[in-house]
């Protein structure tokens, strides 16, 4: 059972057949830093698809060792993208990671309905935290892909996150759908969406999880707070997955935890046939490494 | 506890109160028959407002001795309607009844009563509740709203439920079970009724609609039959033991009402609640028994 992010590293390095990480347009120094550490820690093997000359220069400059990694020389980013996707399709790689190309160019070939990697209705971002004072790891979704998801899209976001949590070994994750308040307000769509998603889980339209909402953030992570508000809920104070109403609230919540609580999460994009890593330049090396470990520790 | 419609007079006896019924624009023979029967139970006092000579004539024709029925002469229907409402406003009567069963006649009472900012409504939702007794269901079941709200929005539906919960609690059911009906038991974005139902369920769970258990969306069969719910894999406290059925709109409620009466041969009593006094609105299709039971039902909400 995974209780802490360190358990994710243990799980990743104990997997018999080491996973191969395909880095699309790998000539990016921050990404290569993280990949080198992950390879050294024996969490993954890597295939670097990108400009070999630049990769070697970065390796030399940063004193990185890619002797164990396959490097496929491809200077053109579009070709690198196509090749990376092909490697995943052929089963050569089991994790995809973004290198030196913009996010849209990275996601386009993944999302594409023909020849892409998408398995669900949509891709969504899932960040996994372990915070002092909360008894287990928990996921925050969707922090980066869907801007203002409607109810149907939120159901898909939940499905994606539940799928990943089950891959981590949490059989029936508890999902809190956040609103500003724990009551239904007809002038706050997020509270109505939350109520409907709860019922969808109860009726088996969203499977393998328990959903409750609307819950405010404190109700979701603190039983005491839920008791104070007299909320009867299987999820309150014990949430595994927290679904936020929109990208702004996700972003603010994510950054407040990272910057003020000084916690480093791991994050993956879910909804594709393999874990997809999309870290931003602003993310620290440890977040990038956590993300690789997270992706390496699950079997889809 | 009221479990059959035949328990209504027994309940009134225990309640030990007497309510005065005021009938506006009393004209219909059917209504007058029902009013006299209600008076004869001993639990209801009656005031009739309308054309006094016509009322007396009808009472004689029907073989009723109207000697102890108060009659107030008012030849204009609309003035009679207003006067009946004044009776309620002044606390002289506790139950309001419409004296005419044709469509135009109904408006004599409802129009002035339901007009906006009426002091008799005080911003509340007025709704109609029909209480059915059927051979093939183990207890009384309330269907709402058959008469007032055509296409209620979410908050109106919440109020309609609260009104019905109020009534069923008067019957002695502390925490009535409410099924919010839809065509299917799953959430479907193209069917707003299913979305409303899910939201209403959560509102009850969060204490926003009090004193009841709500589940929905439920199809009619899931609501009244546990077996049917189990077959669909529905886990619900409400299935098979429902006290209140909330229909998504007036058309659905109306068809259900008529189907229960005409095909399932159900007995029914109806009441309109939400105003300061219960209102009895009967129709030409009602039986004498229904009219009487509707008056007695209204009296049960008063003490």
Evaluate whether residue A30 is within a structural domain: yes
pLDDT the model gives residue A155: 97
Would you place residue A299 in the very low, low, confident or very high pLDDT band (cuts 50, 70, 90)?
confident
pLDDT the model gives residue B78: 86
| Same domain for A230 and A205 | yes
For residue range B195-205, what is the model confidence (pLDDT) as tens digits? Answer: 999 999 999 99
Q: Is the pLDDT of residue B103 over 70?
A: no
| Same domain for A206 and A105 | no
Q: Is the pLDDT of residue B79 over 80?
A: yes
Contacts of B154 in chain A (CB under 8 A): 186, 192
| Same domain for A24 and A138 | no
pLDDT the model gives residue B22: 95
B214 or B117: whose pLDDT is higher?
B214
Q: Is the pLDDT of residue B105 over 70?
A: no
Q: Is the pLDDT of residue A63 over 70?
A: yes
Query: Pick from B199, B205, B233: which is nearest to A192 by CB?
Result: B199
Q: Which of A177-191, B18-32, B116-130 has the highest mean pLDDT?
A: A177-191
d(CA A219, CA A223): 6
Q: What domain range includes position A251? A: 124-260
CB A71 within 8 A of CB A35: no
pLDDT the model gives residue A56: 96
| Contact (CB<8Å) A196/B154 | no
| Same domain for A129 and A256 | yes
Evaluate whether residue A79 is within a structural domain: yes
Contacts of B198 in chain A (CB under 8 A): 195-196, 198-200
| Contact (CB<8Å) B198/A152 | no
| Contact (CB<8Å) A183/B206 | yes
| Same domain for A11 and A42 | yes
pLDDT the model gives residue B293: 96
pLDDT the model gives residue B118: 74
| Same domain for A110 and A195 | no
Query: Pick from B155, B205, B233: which is nearest to A186 by CB?
Result: B155
Would you place residue B8 in the very low, low, confident or very high pLDDT band (cuts 50, 70, 90)?
very high
Would you place residue A120 in the very low, low, confident or very high pLDDT band (cuts 50, 70, 90)?
confident
Would you place residue A283 in the very low, low, confident or very high pLDDT band (cuts 50, 70, 90)?
confident
pLDDT the model gives residue B230: 92
Q: What CATH number did the domain enclosing A182 receive?
A: 3.40.718.10
pLDDT the model gives residue B63: 75
Percent residues over pLDDT 90 in chain A:
87
| Contact (CB<8Å) B199/A184 | yes
Q: Is the pLDDT of residue B27 over 80?
A: no
| Contact (CB<8Å) B186/A202 | no
Any B CB within 8 A of A152 CB: yes
pLDDT the model gives residue A280: 85
Output the 3-class SS for chain A.
CCCCHHHHHHHHHHCCCCEEEEEECCCCHHHHHHHHHHHHCCCEEEEEEECHHHHHHHHHHHCCCCCCCEEEECCCHHHHHHHHHHHHHCCCCCEEEECCCCHHHHHHHHHCCCCCCECCCCCEEEEEECCCCCCCCEEEECCCCCCCCCHHHHHHHHHHHHHHHHHCCCCCCEEEEECCCCCCCCCCHHHHHHHHHHHHHHCCCCCCCEEEEEECHHHHHCHHHHHHCCCCCCCCCCCCEEECCCHHHHHHHHHHHHHHCCCCCEEEEECECCCEECCCCCCCHHHHHHHHHHHHCCCC
Q: Read off the pLDDT of each residue in B271-276 and give the average, rounded to a whole number.
A: 92
| Same domain for A130 and A99 | no
Q: Is the pLDDT of residue A103 over 90?
A: yes
| Same domain for A139 and A99 | no
The interface residues of chain A toward chain B in range 209-268, judged by CB-CB distance below 8 A, are 214, 230-232
Give me the number of domains chain A comprises: 2
Q: Is the pLDDT of residue B104 over 70?
A: no
Evaluate whether residue A175 is within a structural domain: yes
Evaluate whether residue A266 is within a structural domain: no
Evaluate whether residue A265 is within a structural domain: no
Query: Pick from A152, A199, A204: which is nearest to B233 by CB?
Result: A204
Evaluate whether residue A45 is within a structural domain: yes
Output the six-digit token pair for B13.
């006896």
| Same domain for A233 and A185 | yes
| Contact (CB<8Å) A152/B189 | yes
pLDDT the model gives residue B116: 63
Evaluate whether residue A292 is within a structural domain: yes
For residue range B207-243, what is the model confidence (pLDDT) as tens digits? Answer: 999 999 999 999 999 999 999 999 999 999 999 999 9
| Same domain for A152 and A109 | no
Q: What CATH number did the domain enclosing A94 receive?
A: 3.40.50.10950
| Same domain for A174 and A146 | yes
Percent residues over pLDDT 70 in chain B:
97
Q: Read off the pLDDT of each residue in B63-69 and give the average, rounded to a whole number.
A: 72
Contacts of B155 in chain A (CB under 8 A): 186
pLDDT the model gives residue B1: 85
Q: Is the pLDDT of residue B283 over 90?
A: no
Q: Is the pLDDT of residue B67 over 70?
A: no
pLDDT the model gives residue B65: 67
| Same domain for A289 and A218 | no
Query: Of B176, B185, B198, B194, which is closest to residue B230 (Cα–Cα)?
Result: B185
Percent residues over pLDDT 70 in chain A:
100
d(CA A234, CA A12): 31
pLDDT the model gives residue B15: 85
For residue range A226-261, what is the model confidence (pLDDT) as tens digits? Answer: 999 899 999 999 999 999 999 999 999 999 999 889
Evaluate whether residue A142 is within a structural domain: yes
Give me chain A's average pLDDT, please. 94
pLDDT the model gives residue A139: 97
């Amino acid at each position: 059972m995974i209780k802490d992010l360190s358990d994710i590293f243990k799980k990743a390095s104990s997997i018999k057949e080491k996973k191969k990480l395909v880095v699309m347009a790998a000539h990016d120094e921050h990404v290569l830093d993280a990949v080198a550490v992950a390879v050294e820690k024996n969490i993954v093997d890597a295939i670097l698809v990108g400009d070999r000359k630049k990769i070697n220069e970065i390796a030399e400059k940063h004193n990185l060792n890619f002797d164990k990694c396959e490097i496929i020389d491809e200077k053109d980013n579009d070709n690198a993208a196509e090749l990376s996707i092909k490697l995943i399709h052929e089963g050569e790689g089991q994790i995809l990671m973004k290198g030196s190309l913009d996010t849209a160019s990275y996601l386009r070939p993944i999302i594409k309905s023909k020849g892409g990697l998408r398995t669900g209705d949509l891709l969504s971002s899932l960040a996994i935290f372990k915070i002092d004072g909360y008894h287990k790891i928990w996921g925050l979704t969707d922090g980066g892909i869907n801007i203002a998801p409607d109810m149907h899209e939120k159901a898909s976001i939940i499905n994606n996150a539940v799928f990943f949590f089950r891959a981590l070994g949490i059989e029936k994750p508890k999902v809190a759908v956040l609103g500003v308040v724990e009551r239904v307000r007809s002038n706050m769509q997020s509270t109505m969406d939350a109520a409907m998603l709860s019922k969808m889980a109860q009726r088996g339209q969203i499977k393998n999880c328990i959903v409750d909402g609307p819950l405010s953030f404190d109700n979701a992570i603190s039983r005491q707070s839920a008791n104070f508000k007299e909320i009867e809920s299987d999820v309150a104070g014990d949430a595994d997955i927290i679904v936020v109403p929109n990208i702004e609230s996700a972003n603010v919540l994510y950054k407040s935890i990272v910057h003020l609580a000084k916690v480093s999460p791991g994050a993956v994009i879910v909804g594709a046939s393999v874990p997809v890593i999309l870290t931003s330049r602003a993310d620290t090396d440890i977040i990038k490494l956590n993300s690789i470990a997270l992706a390496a520790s699950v079997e889809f | 506890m009221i479990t059959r419609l035949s328990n209504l007079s027994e309940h009134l006896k225990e309640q030990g109160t007497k309510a005065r019924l005021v009938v506006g624009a009393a004209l219909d023979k059917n209504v007058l028959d029902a009013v006299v029967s209600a008076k004869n139970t001993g639990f209801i006092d009656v005031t009739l407002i309308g054309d006094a000579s016509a009322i007396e004539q009808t009472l004689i024709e029907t073989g009723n001795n109207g000697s102890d029925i108060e009659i107030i002469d008012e030849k204009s229907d609309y003035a009679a309607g207003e006067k009946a409402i004044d009776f309620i406003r002044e606390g002289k009567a506790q139950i309001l009844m419409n004296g005419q069963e044709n469509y135009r006649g109904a408006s004599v009472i409802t129009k002035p009563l339901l007009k906006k900012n009426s002091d008799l409504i005080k911003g509340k939702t007025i709704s109609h509740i029909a209480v059915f007794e059927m051979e093939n269901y183990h207890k009384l079941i309330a269907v709402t709203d058959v008469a007032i709200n055509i296409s209620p929005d979410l908050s109106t539906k919440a109020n309609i439920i609260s009104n019905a919960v109020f009534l069923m609690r008067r019957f002695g059911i502390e925490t009535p079970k409410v099924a919010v009906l839809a065509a299917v038991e799953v959430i479907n974005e193209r069917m707003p009724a299913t979305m409303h139902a899910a939201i209403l369920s959560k509102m009850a769970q969060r204490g926003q609609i009090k004193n009841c258990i709500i589940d929905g969306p439920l199809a009619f069969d899931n609501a009244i039959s546990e077996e049917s719910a189990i077959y669909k894999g529905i886990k619900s406290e409400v299935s098979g033991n429902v006290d209140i059925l909330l229909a998504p709109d007036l058309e659905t409620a109306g068809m259900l009402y008529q189907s229960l009466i005409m095909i399932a041969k159900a007995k029914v009593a109806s009441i309109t609640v939400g105003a300061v006094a219960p209102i009895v609105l009967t129709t030409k299709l009602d039986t004498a028994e229904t009219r009487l039971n509707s008056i007695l039902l209204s009296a049960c909400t008063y003490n």
